[in-house]
Structure 1
Amino acid sequence: MKNRVLSVDIFRGATIILMILVNTPGTWSNVYAPFLHAKWHDYTPTDLVFPFFLFIVGTSIVFAYKNKEATANTYKKISIRSLKLIGLGLFLGAFTISFPFIKEFAAIRFPGVLQRIGVVFFFAAILFLNMDWKKLVALSAALLLGYWAIMTLIPVEGVASTLERAPHNLANYVDVKVFGTHNYKPDYDPEGLLSTIPAIVSSLLGIFTGLIITSKRENKTKQMVILGIAMVILGHVWDLVFPINKALWTSSFVLVTAGWANLVLALIYFLTDVKGIKFGSIFRYAGANAIVVYFLSSFITKLFYLIKVDGETSVHGWLFNNIFVHDFMPMEFSSLLYGLAVVAFYCLLAYVLYKRKIFIKV
């Protein structure tokens, strides 16, 4: 891609690194609060990470497809990329170390992070190719309002739908009916079917920021800041009647997270692309192979949990307990150090790939 915008690459890479960090603590029993998801309503810094990535997917779509025509060949490439992402996600969900290396069918989780990225990318890219920004704004508003309406007005088996955990939660009800046992947990799936609709809007909102960055307007940073503040405020106002919730990917959650994404990206854009300050190269390296780095981290982490060192302790547990756990350190700090060590490894891997000009497109 010609004329790459440095801030977008840094933002993408930093998001992937944060995704790896929050997904690989030394022990889930001892994690600092900011590195955990909110228990249900509200949000923590960790809850911003995945929507940030979907947001930057939308921003990147503008760079990749702004000058492309909506042809059969373009649709084919979009479809193939989407299917690759979904396939990788399904592989992660189905893999096990016991022959034949696939879980029992009933135990395989169908939704997932990569699956959601694939679906969101597909719809966001197709919509971008066929709609101008005004139509995309109208569609985004309609989807967020529509999701609010169906989540609060449609009863579940004759009982008024709630926004709490199952059983009277429409999103979970749909997931159970469609996927059966193939969900993250019996009472909710954070990447469920119905909540993918507002997740698409997270990417569409990233498209609007991409259009700002690629435009010939002046004061782009100011526009992103204003847009970001407006979204954060509107999202928190909406929170009063439609609580901010990552598991349900509520409309208020979409606005708040996209607002923060705009503000963070605006800061990085101002420092790097406007002022020319050089920083964050390691994030740029990770951003160049973002999906590959994320997939490898997820796959290797899974192996570390599945492979046993002495028949009982996993590789993950052995490394954590023997290298990072010490009497003079709080367990939360030990857990964080483990995550940082994992991040350091994948940053090094990203650096080597980048320097050797190895860019694996999924």
Structure 2
Amino acid sequence: MRTDSSPQSPPHRLLSIDILRGFDMLWITGLKYFIIYTLVATQYIPNREAARSHTYLSQLDHVSWQGFHFYDLIFPLFLFLTGITIPLSITSKLQSGSATKTQLTIRCIRRLLLLIILGMIHQIHGLPERWPSVLGFIGLSYFIAAMLAIYTPRIIQLAYIPIALITYYLAIRFIPFNGHPAGTLTIDANLPSYIDSLIIPAKHMLIPKTPFDPEGPFMAIAGAALAMLGVYAGYILTNQNTKPIKRVGQLLILGLAAIFIAYLWSFDLPIIKQIWSSSFILAAAGCCFLLTAIFYLVIDVINFKPFNTLLFPLQLYGQNALAVYMIGPAIGITALLTSITAPILHNFSTATQLATIQALILITQTIYLYIFHKKRIFLRV
């Protein structure tokens, strides 16, 4: 891990990608809880649990198993954006001759190992025995996609997506396992989790009894397909032979097509985020393509400076995503702010206290990210 004096500056750096990543990080680091607790405090909903059954607020929680909510998109969006950076960095370095394949491979291996380690550190207080992690899953999926980008032509890179998704589907659909018939898909019994349990001891998975872990290594086969879809979006965005508005159209078409295919596929293979089912990958990728198109159109194509200035806080989060993800838990920001505000807020309702603390967390994060920006400190792996 290192701190750079400047953000990565590939030849075709896109402000929209930083801002979209920042939008994603804002949800990861607490915006959801601020919204829900504020609505409880203002008595729009009676309690936290009511949000889970609310027509719209339920979108701020993960689906328990089958289906798709807005909040199920947050992690896949980050992985998709990680894929977009591959053409912006790795591929551009190969094309310019500024780095060799060996140098880039070593860098990717280093990144993979660091993300696995940082992922375990991030969850050390809540899940000290767990080996898989969000960062580790991103690292492994990114590594597979990066190796494809470095060592194979684009046609092979593109072919990986259907090959991986169809193979993953066929395995789930037609391979019996551990006494269960082929096609069994419950949180207690599913093929991806079973294969992961052969790789990782059950006691080191999220749910040892089942065993089950949504960030297991076998599932990274599908995760890499999502990253490769991000790579393809990156190729579209960096294609200087097409006009920007045409790139927007291509992203929109791909997004709608992916969602349509996911919908059809879901009749045979349900959309299940927790095992990264092939239908889920396409549903998530479709939404990611659409969001990328919208952000790119508004921020980079229309490029209305006053509006982009209003989005500067999101840019701060997007430029230093790893910092904001790691620093909060490292300093115990929630416990710290709770202890500081307790004497002031003790007469207020619990929901008001929690909403205030979440607001202070977001403000504190924004302040130190702004300081990092001014000091040109950017945490990288």
SS of corresponding position for 1:181: helix
The aligned counterpart of 1:16 is 25
1:51-66 alignment, distance < 5 Å: 51-66=76-91
The CA deviation string for residues 196-245 of structure 1, in whole angstroms up to 9 with x for no partner, is 11011111000011000000212111111111111111111111111111
Residue 201 (1) aligns with residue 225 (2): yes
TM-score, normalising length from structure 1? 0.85
Q: Write the distance in 1 (CA, Å) between the matches of 2:236 and 2:16.
A: 13
Pick the aligned partner of 2:312 from 281, 297, 308.
281
Pick the aligned partner of 2:193 from 172, 196, 203.
172
The CA deviation string for residues 131-169 of structure 1, in whole angstroms up to 9 with x for no partner, is 233212211100000111111211122321411111x31
- Give 1:342 deviation, angstroms: 2.1
- Give 1:14 deviation, angstroms: 1.3
Question: Per the alignment, do residues 119 and 214 of structure 1 end up closer, same or farther by CA in structure 2, a change over 3 Å counting?
Answer: same
Question: Per the alignment, do residues 222 and 58 of structure 1 end up closer, same or farther by CA in structure 2, a change over 3 Å counting?
Answer: same
Q: Write the distance in 2 (CA, Å) between the matches of 1:254 and 1:268.
A: 21
Letter in structure 2 aligned against 1:39: S
- Give 1:322 deviation, angstroms: 6.9
- Give 1:317 deviation, angstroms: 8.7
Pick the aligned partner of 1:212 from 236, 245, 251.
236
Residue 43 (1) aligns with residue 73 (2): no
The aligned counterpart of 2:328 is 297
The aligned counterpart of 2:172 is 151
- More divergent stretch after superposition (55-64 vs 337-346): 337-346
Pick the aligned partner of 1:90 from 120, 130, 142.
120
Letter in structure 2 aligned against 1:247: Q
Question: Per the alignment, do residues 356 and 325 of structure 1 end up closer, same or farther by CA in structure 2, a change over 3 Å counting?
Answer: farther
The aligned counterpart of 2:97 is none
Q: Is the 8 A contact 1:22 1:36 kept in 2?
A: no
Question: Per the alignment, do residues 318 and 127 of structure 1 end up closer, same or farther by CA in structure 2, a change over 3 Å counting?
Answer: same
- Give 1:10 deviation, angstroms: 0.7
1:242-261 alignment, distance < 5 Å: 242-261=269-288
Which structure: greater helix fraction?
A: 2
The CA deviation string for residues 243-265 of structure 1, in whole angstroms up to 9 with x for no partner, is 11111111111111111111111
Residue 76 (1) aligns with residue 102 (2): no
Residue 239 (1) aligns with residue 287 (2): no
Q: Is the 8 A contact 2:222 2:277 kept in 1?
A: yes
SS of corresponding position for 2:378: coil
- Give 1:316 deviation, angstroms: 5.3
Q: Is the 8 A contact 2:273 2:280 kept in 1?
A: yes
Letter in structure 1 aligned against 2:48: N
- More divergent stretch after superposition (275-284 vs 253-262): 275-284
Question: Per the alignment, do residues 317 and 144 of structure 1 end up closer, same or farther by CA in structure 2, a change over 3 Å counting?
Answer: farther
Q: Write the distance in 2 (CA, Å) between the matches of 1:255 and 1:321.
A: 49
SS of corresponding position for 1:360: strand
TM-score, normalising length from structure 2? 0.81
Question: Per the alignment, do residues 119 and 320 of structure 1 end up closer, same or farther by CA in structure 2, a change over 3 Å counting?
Answer: farther
How big is the alpha-carbon RMSD for the aligned residues of Structure 1 and Structure 2? Answer: 2.7
- Give 1:22 deviation, angstroms: 6.3
Question: Per the alignment, do residues 318 and 222 of structure 1 end up closer, same or farther by CA in structure 2, a change over 3 Å counting?
Answer: same
In the comparison of the two structures, how many residue pairs are matched? 339
The CA deviation string for residues 13-69 of structure 1, in whole angstroms up to 9 with x for no partner, is 111111112686798x82632221111111211110000000000001110012233
Question: Per the alignment, do residues 316 and 43 of structure 1 end up closer, same or farther by CA in structure 2, a change over 3 Å counting?
Answer: farther
SS of corresponding position for 1:67: helix
Identity of aligned residues (%): 27
The aligned counterpart of 1:311 is none
SS of corresponding position for 1:68: helix
- More divergent stretch after superposition (281-290 vs 16-25): 16-25
Q: Write the distance in 1 (CA, Å) between the matches of 2:66 and 2:257.
A: 21
Structure 1 residue runs without a partner (length 5+) = 97-102, 308-314
Q: Write the distance in 2 (CA, Å) between the matches of 1:321 and 1:123.
A: 50
The aligned counterpart of 1:354 is 373
Question: Per the alignment, do residues 222 and 6 of structure 1 end up closer, same or farther by CA in structure 2, a change over 3 Å counting?
Answer: same
Structure 2 residue runs without a partner (length 5+) = 1-8, 38-46, 52-57, 95-99
- Give 1:123 deviation, angstroms: 1.3
Q: Is the 8 A contact 1:320 1:338 kept in 2?
A: no
Letter in structure 2 aligned against 1:273: D
Q: Is the 8 A contact 2:31 2:362 kept in 1?
A: no
Question: Per the alignment, do residues 22 and 184 of structure 1 end up closer, same or farther by CA in structure 2, a change over 3 Å counting?
Answer: farther
